[in-house]
Chain A
Amino acid sequence: MRIPCPVCGLRSVSEFTYEGDATVLRPPLEADGDTWFATVYERRNPRGPHAELWHHTQGCRCFVEVERDTATHAILSARLVTPTGAGI
């Protein structure tokens, strides 16, 4: 599997660290227990297209949001993200 890093180009998956479901965003600290429980523990875990974060630890060290089909490993899109989750 190779991931198209927007900065470095097509690179081996072994250069990246998986950071999980990109749709899960940290709530504000004062959010209630149920919200934090959902953020920390609950995942949709779909078979099919999955938005996920990959950290290019052995490359540019940027965070890349990748849409990937979990049934086939086909990569559908990739874009850089900021710490707040917004695209660049």
Chain B
Amino acid sequence: MRYSIGSLALNALTGQRYWPLAWRKAEPRPAYDVVIVGGGGHGLATAYYLAKEHGITNVAVLEKGWLGSGNIGRNTTIIRSNYMLPDNTRFYEWSLKLWENLSRELNFNTMVSQRGVINLAHTPAQLDAYARRGNAMRLAGVDAELLDRDELARRVPGLDLSETARFPIVGGLCQPRGGTVRHDAVAWGYARAADRLGVDIIENCAVTGFTFDGDRVTGVETTRGTIGAGKVGVAVAGSTSEVMRLAGFDRLPIESHVLQAFVSEGLKPFLDTVVTFGAGHLYISQSDKGGLVFGGDIDGYNSYAQRGNLPIVEDVAASAVTMFPSLSRLRLLRSWGGIMDMSMDGSPIIDKTPKPGLYLNAGWCYGGFKATPASGWCFSHTIARDAPHPLNAGFALDRFRTGALLDERGAGATPRLH
């Protein structure tokens, strides 16, 4: 059923009893043209664009748990394209353009809200660096504007702009087209749209191995039986090392780290943009339900635990109160962790692998959510054409060997610093 004002009225009149399921509960078939491992945002988007852009509809998405149980439902929902390196700028700007039309594209309200993303500067040197980044963005056709203190006071009323603040704010860089998206709706919207094009979405189906003919992949072994595949795409974020090990890749340029996120009790309208703290690491926005949604640094050690430790909770809360002193008595509602596939240069990998028919989408660090549409778009192109699209040509798996790194932060091969 296509969602529309007509379907809404019809179902209202019939007591909301006849809405069809958004996607089928598919049973695995013996073989598919393409199997995508990982039913998160990136995997579902890949399946959707394989069907929509490349006409490959004999596709299965295998999800170990339930749909939306991983990082697609654990992030802080921020979208932006405020990067400086050309490969990143082009890719994330394409992603932002796909976000801007996503609800219409999927016939599903993903609640894309372009409320702006503001990065605060706390020293003149930092403001200069932001001016440079803003100029680089504008040269690449991305929107950016530098904000002074008066403008920040107008846009973000709760901000501590006093001279006596621990880290006085001197200005900021804003990307007006950045904002937030309802993350669950992204998973559901892509799943429903892919399903409508014939893709099988198979939940509770963990991959336990790969089958090969020589080096060429021929399928996957799962907890629900062996499934043949012409091509296999792996998009499993924090579990990349463990899944790729099953395919014979024992070591990758990736470490898995835990990133915590937080939501507070509900407040009346307080913050209508996304603000990031420049003297530490914090990003905060207010959800439509009223809770403040925020996060900060990763815990900084290898982890698959999907929960973090208290020092980061304290650090993130301290940063929030430093920025917004009026939040000091706010109570946390929930906190949780997600497992980030931290790459060695802070940029992702969307590429073929040395084994024919096996493709890898990984290394998202903690920036994977905003990349979801372009990641799926580029990964589907890479799988369908057996070659990367120019937008993801820089995200090559062998760049660590060749030296063509994309180190946006200049932090070197230390995953916990990206």
* Contact call A52/B301, Cβ cutoff below 8 A: yes
Q: A50: which of B302, B309, B344, B400 is its contact (CB, 8 Å)?
A: B302
- How many of chain B's residues touch chain A, expressed as a range? 20 to 34
- Give CA–CA (A30, B256) in the complex, Å: 31
| Chain A residues numbered 4-53 whose CB sits less than 8 Å from any CB in chain B | 12-14, 18, 20-21, 37-38, 40-47, 50, 52
A57 within 8 A of B: no
**A77 contacts B by Cβ under 8 Å:** no
Which residues on A sit within 8 Å (CB–CB) of B330? none
B413 an interface residue at 8 Å Cβ cutoff? yes
A41 in contact with B302 (CB, 8 Å): no
Asked if A38 and B311 sit within 8 Å, CB to CB, the answer is no
| A82: interface (CB < 8 Å) | no
A41 touches B400 (CB 8 A): yes
Q: A70-B256, A70-B303, A71-B305 are in contact. Are A41 and B413 (CB under 8 A)?
A: yes
User: Which applies to chain B's interface (DSSP): helix, strand, loop or mixed?
Assistant: mixed
Q: A43-B255, A46-B241 are in contact. Are A37 and B401 (CB under 8 A)?
A: yes
Contact in complex: B305, A41 (CB < 8 Å)? no
> Does B147 lie at the interface of the complex (its beta carbon under 8 Å from any beta carbon of A)?
no
Q: How far is the CB of A80 from chain B (nearest CB, A)?
A: 19
Docked-complex contact B251 and A43, CB < 8 angstroms: yes
Tell me the nearest residue of chain B to A40, going by C-beta: B413
Chain B contacts for A40, CB-based, 8 A: 344, 400, 413
B303 near A45 (CB under 8 angstroms)?
A: no
How many A residues, CB 8 Å from partner?
24
- Asked whether B401 lies within 8 Å of A73 as measured between CB atoms, the reply is no
Contacts of B311 in A (CB 8 A): 12-14
Partner of B303, one of A14, A21, A44, A73: A73
B252 touches A45 (CB 8 A): yes
Closest to B399 in A: A41
Which residues of chain B have C-beta atoms less than 8 A from A46's C-beta?
241-242
Interface members, chain B 389-418 (any A CB < 8 Å): 400-401, 413-414, 416
Tell me which residues across on chain B come within 8 A of A52, comparing CB atoms.
Answer: 301-302
Complex contact B255–A45 (CB within 8 A): yes
Q: How far is the CA of A61 from the CA of B413 in the complex (A)?
A: 23
* Cα–Cα distance between A68 and B302 once the two chains are bound (Å): 9
Is residue B304 contacting chain A, with contact meaning CB distance below 8 A? yes
Q: How far is the CB of A39 from chain B (nearest CB, A)?
A: 9
Alpha-carbon gap, A71 to B254, bound state (A):
16
Q: Does B157 sit within 8 A of A, measured CB to CB?
A: no
Option from B241, B300, B303, B401 in Cβ contact (under 8 Å) with A43: B241
Report the minimum CB–CB distance from B347 to chain A (whole Å). 13
Say yes or no: B304 contacts A70, CB within 8 Å.
yes
A53-72: contact bitstring with B at CB < 8 Å (1 yes, 0 no)?
A: 00000000000000010111
Q: Determine if B250 is an interface residue (Cβ-Cβ < 8 Å).
A: yes
Cβ contact within 8 Å between A43 and B416: no
Shortest Cβ distance from residue B208 to the other chain A in the assembled complex, whole angstroms:
14
Q: Is B158 at the interface (CB under 8 A from chain A)?
A: no
- Which residues of chain B from 246 to 261 have any CB-CB distance to chain A below 8 Å in the complex? 250-256
Q: Are B300 and A18 in contact (CB under 8 A)?
A: yes
Task: Give the residue among A14, A42, A43, A68 with the most B Cβ atoms within 10 A.
Answer: A43
For the complex formed, measure the closest distance between the CB of B95 and the CB atoms of chain A, giving whole angstroms.
26
**Which of B239, B250, B302, B413 has the most C-beta atoms of chain A within 10 angstroms of its own C-beta?**
B302
Taking each of A1, A18, A37, A47, which has the highest tally of chain B beta carbons within 10 Å of its own beta carbon?
A47
Among residues of A, the one whose C-beta sits closest to the C-beta of B401 is A37
Set of chain B residues within 8 Å of A70, measured between Cβ atoms:
256, 302-305
Q: Which residues of A contact B (CB under 8 A)?
A: 1, 12-14, 18, 20-21, 37-38, 40-47, 50, 52, 68, 70-73
The 3 closest A-B pairs by CB, nearest first: A45-B241, A42-B251, A14-B311
- Known contacts A40-B413, A41-B400, A70-B305; 15 further A-B pairs (Cβ under 8 A): A12-B311, A14-B311, A20-B416, A21-B255, A41-B401, A43-B254, A44-B251, A45-B242, A45-B256, A45-B302, A50-B302, A70-B303, A70-B304, A73-B303, A73-B309
B positions within 8 Å CB-CB of A: 239, 241-242, 250-256, 300-305, 309, 311, 344, 400-401, 413-414, 416
Q: List 12 A-B contacts (CB under 8 A).
A: A20-B302, A20-B416, A21-B302, A37-B401, A38-B251, A43-B253, A43-B255, A44-B250, A45-B242, A45-B302, A47-B242, A73-B303
